[in-house]
């Protein structure tokens, strides 16, 4: 009898720990995560522009490594850095740097080439990647 009670208590304890860990599970570590695909900013933008629905199926939630030329880069008052990669048109691929990562740098020269990996969230004028981390070759 005592034994059963102990087993039940133990199961509750394990259940509680599992629930607690699930509840507090950390965000994916983008720096260490391996990318699902690599593409240029131009090609990614062109895919979204040609067929948004199809591109959503292909790219949403994927960890994408995108490379291109910096069209603009800025850090706002809250410390959020965004890098816009050229697509050849007016809009581009916006990469917002991950707030949970310590970045090697947060300043990017306009016109320089850069590779970043981040989660694709879709197109809203620009194609948007969040939680980006620079891929240093």
Partner 1 sequence: MNKIFFSFLILSFIFATSSEAQKYFTRDGNINFISDAVLEKIEAKNTNATSVLDAETGKLEFAVLVKAFQFEKALMQEHFNENYMESSKFPKAIFKGSIDNFEALDLSKSGTYEVTVVGKLSIHGETQPIKTKGSLKIDGENILASSVFSIQVEDYGIKIPSVVKDNVAKEVEIMVDLKYQPFKR
All residues at 6 or more sequence positions from 82 whose CB lies less than 8 Å from its CB, including other chains: 73, 74, 75, 76, 94, 95, 96, 97
Tell whether residue 56 is a contact of partner 1 (CB under 8 A). Answer: yes
Question: If 0-12 CB within 10 Å is exposed, 13-18 middle and 19+ buried, where does residue 49 land?
Answer: middle
Place of tokens 């620009």: 126
Q: Which of residues 66-125 bind partner 1 (CB under 8 A)?
A: 76, 78, 80, 82, 90, 94, 96, 99, 119, 121-122, 124-125
Q: What is the rounded CA–CA span in Å between residue 84 and residue 114?
A: 10
C-alpha distances in Å from residue 74, one per residue of 20, 28, 34, 114 = 38, 25, 26, 15
Tell whether residue 22 is a contact of partner 1 (CB under 8 A). Answer: yes
25-54 footprint of partner 1 as x/- string (CB under 8 A): xxxx--------------------------
The correct pick among 68, 126, 132, 134 for binding partner 1 (CB under 8 A) is 126
Q: Smallest distance, Å, CB 19 to partner 1?
A: 11
Chain contacts with partner 1 (rule: CB under 8 A): 22-28, 56, 60-61, 76, 78, 80, 82, 90, 94, 96, 99, 119, 121-122, 124-126, 128, 130-131
């Amino acid at each position: 009898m005592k034994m059963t009670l102990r087993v039940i208590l133990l199961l509750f304890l394990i259940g509680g720990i599992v629930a607690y860990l699930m509840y507090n599970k950390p965000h994916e570590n983008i720096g260490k995560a391996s990318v699902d695909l690599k593409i240029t900013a131009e090609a990614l933008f062109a895919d979204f522009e040609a067929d948004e629905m199809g591109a959503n199926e292909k790219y949403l939630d994927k960890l994408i490594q995108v490379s291109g030329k910096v069209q603009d880069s800025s850090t706002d008052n809250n410390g959020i850095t965004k890098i816009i990669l050229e697509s050849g048109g007016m809009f581009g691929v916006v990469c917002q740097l991950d707030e949970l990562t310590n970045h090697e740098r947060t300043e990017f020269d306009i016109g320089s080439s850069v590779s970043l990996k981040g989660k694709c969230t879709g197109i809203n004028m620009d194609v948007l990647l969040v939680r980006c981390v620079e891929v240093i070759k």
